[in-house]
Structure 1
Amino acid sequence: MKDTAARLREAADERTRERLPTGESLRRMIRAWEAGEHRPGELYTELYSRVFGVPAEELFAGAAEVTTVGGSDDELEALELARRIEASDIGRETIERLELAVDELAIAYPGTPPGELLVRVRRHLRYVFQLLDARKTLDEHRRLLVVGGWLSLLAATCHIDLHQFSAGGARLRTAAHLAKHADYPEIAAWCLETQAWQVLTAGDHQHALDLAQAAQRVAPKGGSAYIQATAQEGRAWARLGAARETRETLDRVARLVAPLPTPDRPEHHYRYDPAKSDAYTATTLSWLGDPAAEPYARGVLARLQSTTDGPPRPRRAVSARLDLALALLAADQPDEAGHLTLTAITSGLLVPSNYWRAAEVISAVETRHLPEVAELREAYRELCGPTHPRPR
């Protein structure tokens, strides 16, 4: 509590600092806010936002929002009970359960709507922020920073999926800040890779290439972030139309992935698995217009819809359909491409960050003057509403 008061004071400018109450008065206000008795005023929400690097509207999301998703209250109540029975303020059991919660949330990512997952991630983040003020050992402090870094990174990914780029950027900055203080380069590299993915989807392909290469320089060699950033580099080269560089990068990814076993939970968003490599190869080759993309994309889609490499991953399967559709257009098979695209658009599983990929396929189908174009465009309009760009 005393630490929070000091950090709020440090975040204030000189004039604002003069307006803050002193000593026990401020600590009493903080206790009331953290107990949920009432919400801080505008001045204090802004200071909290500066301290934690999270937008105020995200940090102080109301209780009504989080009670709509089953299981969230139960998860945190169990964590709090575990903490209270420990001898210390935090304790090994609480940290371990938080680390397990991070894994479960990352595993839930491929099959959970991003808005729904974001609610759960926010609740865990608020709990971590509360624990940062508790007495703890240096090891507990570092592990708590790492948990906060992973949660902030996952929250950023959900925001980007939802096209909430300002909030996503703030979350990425927080994750990078926590990674720096915890001396945890894996998270720092994932932050750069996530930025590369965001700008790639926005069409800034050269910037995406630079960020993907920067992520590789930061990441532990051979780890999941390093492999993912290398794969992202290949996608950026493909969008730039650099065929030789694209294939060289795909060869590097293949060599990195070759010795990897299939993980127990391949759907974990931050653990690279061999099946993901094939999916990235299919995407990259389809963007390059390489005929080899079609068999890759068909194989990826078949695996994602089966249980060969773990449970079905329907969101990834939707992206695989769009990859296959683009590959089929390159192979002059527009009818099947149109059908696959319509299936993806009407699935209810396509997230806003991938709308542009559907738009790209629709534009390519339109040049073939197929009768299905009108149905595709109508389905796309219903999917996007008024806030997303139409296919050109």
Structure 2
Amino acid sequence: MDEYGERVRRALTESGMSLRGAAKALSYDVAYLSRVINGKQSASPEFRKAVATVLRVSANPEPAAPDDEEQAWDLTRRVQASDVRGGTLERLELAFDELAMAYPKSSPEELLARVRKHSGYVAKLLDSKKTLAEHRRLLVVGGWLSLLGATVHIDLKQDDAATARLQTAATLAREAGHPEIEAWCFETDAWRVLTEGDYLRALELSRIAQSLAPANSSALIQATAQEGRALARMGDSKETYTAIDRVHALSSEIGEPDQPEHHYKYDPNKALAYTATTLAWLGDTGAEPYARAVIERLKPNSDPSRWPRRVASANIDLALVLISDNRLDEACDSVQKAILSGKVAPSNHWRALEVVKAVEARGLPEGPALRDAYRELRATDDL
């Protein structure tokens, strides 16, 4: 059998086509095709063109295999070759950090546009020539950007897009050998299903995230916090308090981060907001000092439109605990500030609605005004 006939035989095997099916597709006689494959007849130029079109077999002979020394040098050249310009990866990594720090204060729509821009650039660079080290760095920054994009999609209640980006982030994380990104993917999905009311699934996902997260990592702390939130929604007070204690212990071990506003770097001060929400869901009045501490620490001025989103959430937490303590006027004031601030993301509308319904259930005169404000909030975000 000659070299060309062998290549045609391999192509037939790989394509799964039968000899008769291939002959029909090529518009040649089965016997002729058989003779070419077995080296008993030379293939005509027309036949070679047909084979190239149908079976993707080049009409030209394959180049001779290089010797061992040539292969070794070629591998070295390929590993060291790169079309990625100096400083490009550093700028991408810095851009991601800036986006992660902008997350608490930026509108989801604005942030998503910036994430898309940088993610597209990463995708282009992945198709370029680069070193193995550069390739891994691209996978890592691409994973972080996909994770942040998924978080913003969740804020916007865009579940399909969020799921796609989470799957992309997890795939890139596994390819790069970066367990913290993968852990964050499960933690983020835990928050998504928690906002949809699937507390048991949220608990399961948060525990998977903890099993993946490196020791003393921000992902481990946040996943533990997410477990506590799920337990609180399920009404398991004992286990919720245990989770709160674990979060405080873990966060005290890592100290102050160099970028406290970074969404993926756990600042011990975030434990205040986490504790406020978790205790408020349990109906524990101990949530009040935590919620007030968050508001006092983060509120830039008296203008609610300039609040970070965490302050709006803390006001919702405060309203919940004030209602449970029968301090209804204060509760109405807190939730109204949160709703009118414009800083309640769509993924948190359900939390604001819980307070509105609690006010209405008590027949308070503020109920209609709060319901109107809530409708306006929903209408604005649906534009």
In the TM superposition, residue 262 of structure 1 has moved relative to its aligned partner by 2.2
Describe the shift of the 1:306–1:115 C-alpha distance in structure 2 as closer, same or farther (beyond 3 A): closer
Q: How does 1:69-148 map to 2 (within 5 A)?
A: 88-148=82-142
In the TM superposition, residue 88 of structure 1 has moved relative to its aligned partner by 3.8
Are residues 1:198 and 2:192 paired? Answer: yes
**8 A Cα contact 1:215 1:229, kept in partner:** yes
Counterpart code for 2:133: D
In the TM superposition, residue 376 of structure 1 has moved relative to its aligned partner by 0.3
In the TM superposition, residue 259 of structure 1 has moved relative to its aligned partner by 2.6
C-alpha separation in 1, matches of 2:133 and 2:152: 29
**8 A Cα contact 2:187 2:206, kept in partner:** yes
Residue 279 (structure 2) aligns with: 285
Secondary structure of 1:111's aligned partner = coil
**8 A Cα contact 2:307 2:343, kept in partner:** no
**8 A Cα contact 1:297 1:320, kept in partner:** yes
Counterpart code for 2:259: R
Residue 348 (structure 2) aligns with: 354
Residue 316 (structure 1) aligns with: 310
Are residues 1:166 and 2:160 paired? Answer: yes
In the TM superposition, residue 260 of structure 1 has moved relative to its aligned partner by 2.9
Task: Specify every segment of 5 or more residues in structure 1 that has no aligned partner in the other structure, as ranges.
Answer: 1-12, 24-86
Residue 335 (structure 1) aligns with: 329
C-alpha separation in 1, matches of 2:100 and 2:309: 14
Counterpart code for 1:183: G
In the TM superposition, residue 209 of structure 1 has moved relative to its aligned partner by 0.3
Q: 2:239 aligns with which of 245, 249, 254?
A: 245
Are residues 1:230 and 2:228 paired? Answer: no
Residue 4 (structure 2) aligns with: none
Residue 28 (structure 2) aligns with: none
Question: Could you state the TM-score of these two structures normalised by the residue count of structure 1?
Answer: 0.74
Which contiguous aligned blocks of 4+ residues in structure 1 show a shift greater than 6 angstroms?
A: none
In the TM superposition, residue 267 of structure 1 has moved relative to its aligned partner by 1.0
Secondary structure of 1:280's aligned partner = helix
C-alpha separation in 2, matches of 1:100 and 1:230: 28
C-alpha separation in 1, matches of 2:276 and 2:376: 28
C-alpha separation in 1, matches of 2:322 and 2:85: 55
**8 A Cα contact 1:91 1:140, kept in partner:** no
Describe the shift of the 1:142–1:210 C-alpha distance in structure 2 as closer, same or farther (beyond 3 A): same
* CA shift digits 1:152-179 (9 cap, x unpaired): 0011111111111101100100000100
Identity of aligned residues (%): 59
In the TM superposition, residue 144 of structure 1 has moved relative to its aligned partner by 0.2
**8 A Cα contact 1:286 1:326, kept in partner:** yes
C-alpha separation in 2, matches of 1:386 and 1:262: 37
* CA shift digits 1:310-330 (9 cap, x unpaired): xx8621100010011111111
Q: 1:175 aligns with which of 147, 169, 174?
A: 169
Describe the shift of the 1:179–1:316 C-alpha distance in structure 2 as closer, same or farther (beyond 3 A): same
**8 A Cα contact 1:267 1:313, kept in partner:** no
Question: Could you state the TM-score of these two structures normalised by the residue count of structure 2?
Answer: 0.76
Residue 43 (structure 1) aligns with: none
**8 A Cα contact 1:149 1:179, kept in partner:** yes
Q: 1:258 aligns with which of 249, 252, 256?
A: 252
Counterpart code for 1:262: E
Counterpart code for 1:325: A
* CA shift digits 1:322-378 (9 cap, x unpaired): 011111111111111111111111111111001000000111111221100000001
**8 A Cα contact 2:319 2:330, kept in partner:** yes
Counterpart code for 2:326: D
Which has the larger Rg?
A: 2
**8 A Cα contact 2:216 2:254, kept in partner:** no
In the TM superposition, residue 386 of structure 1 has moved relative to its aligned partner by 9.8
C-alpha separation in 1, matches of 2:271 and 2:327: 25
Are residues 1:207 and 2:201 paired? Answer: yes
In the TM superposition, residue 229 of structure 1 has moved relative to its aligned partner by 0.2
C-alpha separation in 2, matches of 1:143 and 1:387: 36
Are residues 1:382 and 2:376 paired? Answer: yes
In the TM superposition, residue 265 of structure 1 has moved relative to its aligned partner by 2.2
Counterpart code for 1:185: P
In the TM superposition, residue 211 of structure 1 has moved relative to its aligned partner by 0.3
C-alpha separation in 1, matches of 2:119 and 2:308: 27
Counterpart code for 1:245: E
* CA shift digits 1:93-126 (9 cap, x unpaired): 1111111111011001111001111001001011
**8 A Cα contact 1:110 1:313, kept in partner:** no
Q: How many residues align?
A: 303
C-alpha separation in 1, matches of 2:231 and 2:156: 25
Secondary structure of 1:258's aligned partner = helix
Superposed CA RMSD: 2.1
Residue 33 (structure 1) aligns with: none
